[in-house]
Amino acid sequence: MFSIFAAYPTFLVFLAIVLSLVLTIALMPAWIRFLRSSHIGQQVRADGPQSHLVKQGTPTMGGVIMLIAVIVTALLVGLPVPETLLLLGATVLTGALGLIDDASKVAHERSLGLTPKAKLIGQFVIAAVFVEVAVNLLGVAPTVEIPFVYTFDLGVLTTVIPIGDGIAVPWLYLVFDLILLVGLCNAVNLTDGLDGLAAGTVMIVMIVMAAIAYRSDLLEPAIFAAALAGACIGFLWFNSFPADIFMGDTGSLALGMALGCLAVVTKTEFVVIIIGGLFVAEALSVMIQVFYYKRTKKRVFLMAPLHHHFEKKGWSETKVVVRFWIVSGVLAACGFVLYFAESMMVVA
């Protein structure tokens, strides 16, 4: 549709942000009215901060509209090339898994939906298929690069399945990426605990990922990342404190998987750990809390994930969110600087 602007790739990336943003803002009000009339609302943790109890019943599953905006934008602004279709496929399938989880929470009126085992199995299957297609169809190299340090060849242990022209299964790279993709998927999900927190931090990270993809001459992934950033900006209009709607697992799981998939396509599997460092910290806080409590019956944090710890210390919800945005911005900038400096060294 926008092929007339094909000679202006920078314009297309910015257009993706704007179009996704506009679609999200335009469609969300009707979706909120539908959810309210259908009595589909968030189920709040009983052991969470008491200030969150007022959020009980707030419409959820806003991620549905975000995904619609991303799909439409990626296909209208970009081209339906294998990279775009693969990224959309993994993101939408993970969003569908989150939608089932959200629907289960609403149906049973509880804060827990699918069992952790069921969600993990679904995430691992989606991630495994993505990585295999990326390696065999897109030609993604089974390597992991630590800028200025070393490039690890994780394709040394590869099995070729004699189907068609042969399907390569680089076991070490597959295992690494499964941990990365599923880890980021759940890390973003854990971050989605305060009004505007996940949407704002993912927005920042996706803008940086769009810049990295563009710098790598990967226009379609750049447009995809820009569309995700735009959807997050549009969603923030309704999700800022006090939130009119939550994205639910439909949005948070999909956004986390999308981030991991973009890292694989752009070959920034290590750098993304820095860029998404806030998500990593949120996930680590839960792991540390659980591990330490099981061993000592004591807690390291007042409450996990990390954002609840600061709430318990007396910070207001908006203060936590804004300061976490700042931290996320600093980490994303550091990751981009590292990537850019290394890429300049390669060119030189």
3-state SS of 188-231 is HHHHCCCCCHHHHHHHHHHHHHHHHHHHCCCHHHHHHHHHHHHH
Q: Is 295 helix (H, G, I), strand (E, B) or coil?
A: helix
Count the neighbouring beta carbons within 10 Å of the beta carbon of residue 262: 28
- CA dist 110 and 243 (Å) reads 20
> CB neighbours (10 Å) of residue 137?
11
Alpha-carbon 14 to chain mean position: 20
pLDDT tens string 191-243: 999 999 999 999 999 999 999 999 999 999 999 999 999 999 999 999 999 99
Q: pTM for the full model?
A: 0.94
Q: How many residues does the chain have?
A: 348
Ramachandran bin of 7, using left for φ above 0, alpha for ψ from -120 to 50, beta for the remaining angles = alpha
What would the pLDDT profile of 255-289 be if each residue is shown by its tens digit? 999 999 999 999 999 999 999 999 999 999 999 99
- Residue by residue, pLDDT tens for the chain (348 residues) are 666 777 789 999 999 999 999 999 999 999 999 999 988 876 655 555 555 555 667 899 999 999 999 999 999 999 999 999 999 999 999 999 999 998 887 776 655 567 889 999 999 999 999 999 999 999 999 999 999 999 999 999 999 999 888 899 999 999 999 999 999 999 999 999 999 999 999 999 999 999 999 999 999 999 999 999 999 999 999 999 999 999 999 999 999 999 999 999 999 999 999 999 999 999 999 999 999 999 999 999 999 999 999 999 999 999 999 999 999 999 999 999 999 998 887 665
CA distances from 1 to 5, 14, 17, 72, 231 (A): 9, 16, 16, 11, 20
Q: Cα(313)–Cα(316) distance, rounded to whole angstroms?
A: 9
